[in-house]
Amino acid sequence: MPKTSLKHLDPRQPLVVDTTKLPRQPGATRALKRVVPAPKDLGLELISVPTGSDLELDLSMTSVSEGVYVSGTVRGSLQGECGRCLDEISQSFAVTIGELYAYADSTTEETTDEDEVGRMQGDLLDLEPALRDAVVLTLPTNPVCRPDCPGLCPECGVHLDDLPADHSHEDVDPRWAALRNLSNTEE
């Protein structure tokens, strides 16, 4: 049985990090600050990070005995649709990442599943799975444009913000009532 099902990493991918310059001595650390384009489908159906928009990585890599530990913050922008009023949502986000990437043939690599602990491929590691998990966890499944968005009138579909507080469809205007009666008689 093959030991690993990992896809081969391409160092030209924006979220693949080359750790060649990080000394393998435990405790050695290096900053990892860069701005990369967001990958496709980063997020949920109703709210996500626009493909190609800036992702600002503010991370640090630390050598540990079993691999490389990557931690820090990733910032970017989100776009979506309010689940109540359908208005566009445009906001920023920041997520924290803390992920261990185990060296090939380390005890950690041999005793853990690749879903729990990341894997080094030579000097390369892939930030994308950890970033996806972090971003998806932070996103609301029912995004709203603001916490108290009142939504739309279920009768006429107009934003309740744009309607008077006493807006109602209970009392039908007599002129509309007349029209309604008219159409009834036509049937």
| Residue from 14, 111, 13, 128 nearest 70 by CA | 128
Residue (136 or 163) nearer to Zn ion, CB: 163
The whole-angstrom separation of Cα 18 and Cα 35 is 15
H-run or E-run covering 164? none
Residue (28 or 86) nearer to Zn ion, CB: 86
Amino acid at position 49, single letter: V
Q: In angstroms, what is the minimal distance from the CB of 157 to Zn ion?
A: 7
Residue (130 or 145) nearer to Zn ion, CB: 145
**Among residues 15, 36, 61, 85, the one that binds Zn ion under rule CB under 5 A:** 85
Instruction: Kindly write down the DSSP assignment for every residue of 103-161, as one continuous string.
Output: PTTSHHHHHS-TTTSEE-BTTEEE-HHHHHHHHHHHS-SS--SSTT---B-TTT--BGG
Both tokens assigned to 129: 């799975």
Q: In angstroms, what is the minimal distance from the CB of 78 to Zn ion?
A: 15
CA distances from 187 to 2, 99, 105, 120, 184 (A): 73, 69, 81, 74, 5
Residue (33 or 146) nearer to Zn ion, CB: 146
Region 99-138 residues binding Zn ion, contact defined as CB under 5 A: none
Q: Of the ranges 4-12, 32-40, 84-92, 131-139, which one interacts with Zn ion (CB under 5 A)?
A: 84-92
H-run or E-run covering 85? none
Residue (2 or 154) nearer to Zn ion, CB: 154
**Among residues 36, 82, 95, 131, the one that binds Zn ion under rule CB under 5 A:** 82
Region 44-63 residues binding Zn ion, contact defined as CB under 5 A: none
Spatial contact of 72 and 57, defined as CB atoms under 8 Å apart: yes
**Site string (143-162) toward Zn ion, x via CB under 5 A:** --x---x---x-xx------
**Among residues 42, 84, 97, 139, the one that binds Zn ion under rule CB under 5 A:** 84
Q: In angstroms, what is the minimal distance from the CB of 164 to Zn ion?
A: 10
Q: Which residues bind Zn ion (CB under 5 A)?
A: 82, 84-85, 87, 145, 149, 153, 155-156
